[in-house]
Amino acid sequence: MSHTKRHQGSPYEIPARDIVGRPGTQRVLSEQFPAPAVLGTDMIGVAAGTEVSLDLSLDSVQDGIWISGTVTAQAVGECGRCLDEVRLTVVAPIQGLFELPGAEREDEEEEPEDVYEFDGETLDLTEVVRDAVADQLPFTPLCDPDCPGLCDQCGARLADDPGHTHEKIDPRWSALEALKADAPSEKKES
């Protein structure tokens, strides 16, 4: 880690006081840090501690700071069909306006979508990053789009053993079959 520590708080909190109120000025930022919290869901997500890269342009505009860039991190999850590990690199676009309090929009009906509160000092990207990563994660992660899943009889991962069949009854099952066959006669006796 060669970059200097910015401050003590969350790495998602970006000080921007130096460019606030100076429309036209820009700052480019490139940071790597361990994710302070999980990004994503139980099915798939970026684990806390995984390295996150944040590449952003901060543009000072009349109403605040316009941010654009990407967040990149590796997500790990479980295949929704065979439960194998799924790893994918998430490159999530980030974009939005951190709006100064009291900023007046000319046309209220055309409210831009991605507007965040801004105190004039620090951009809090926690929510922005969380939403951007969540948008890129699949609802049902798959190890392969054609993953055949698990055998419904023995639970084997079919991608590892595509040809396997169950023509013969497993010895354990035949023992069970034998028990079942005995059961009615037992009932008759009692």
Residue 44 interacts with Zn ion (CB under 5 A): yes or no: no
Q: How many residues comprise the chain?
A: 190
Q: Considering the complex, what minimum distance in angstroms separates the CB of residue 46 from Zn ion?
A: 20
What residue number has its CB nearest to Zn ion?
151
Binding span for Zn ion by CB under 5 A among 18-26, 81-89, 123-131, 182-190: 81-89
Quote the Cα angle for 101-62-13, to 5°: 55
Report the chain's terminal Cα–Cα distance, integer Å: 78
Question: 75: exposed, middle or buried (C-beta count within 10 Å: 0-12, 13-18, 19+)?
Answer: buried
Q: Considering the complex, what minimum distance in angstroms separates the CB of residue 40 from Zn ion?
A: 18
Residue 48 interacts with Zn ion (CB under 5 A): yes or no: no
For residue 108, the 8-state DSSP code is: G
Distance of CA 66 to the CA centre of its chain: 24
Nearest to 77 by CA among 36, 32, 39: 39
Q: Considering the complex, what minimum distance in angstroms separates the CB of residue 42 from Zn ion?
A: 17
Q: Considering the complex, what minimum distance in angstroms separates the CB of residue 44 from Zn ion?
A: 13
Site string for Zn ion, 129-158 (x = CB under 5 A): --------------x---x---x-xx-x--
Other Cβ atoms closer than 10 A to 151: 15
Q: Which is nearer to Zn ion, 127 or 170 (CB)?
A: 170
Interacting residues with Zn ion (CB under 5 A):
79, 81-82, 84, 143, 147, 151, 153-154, 156
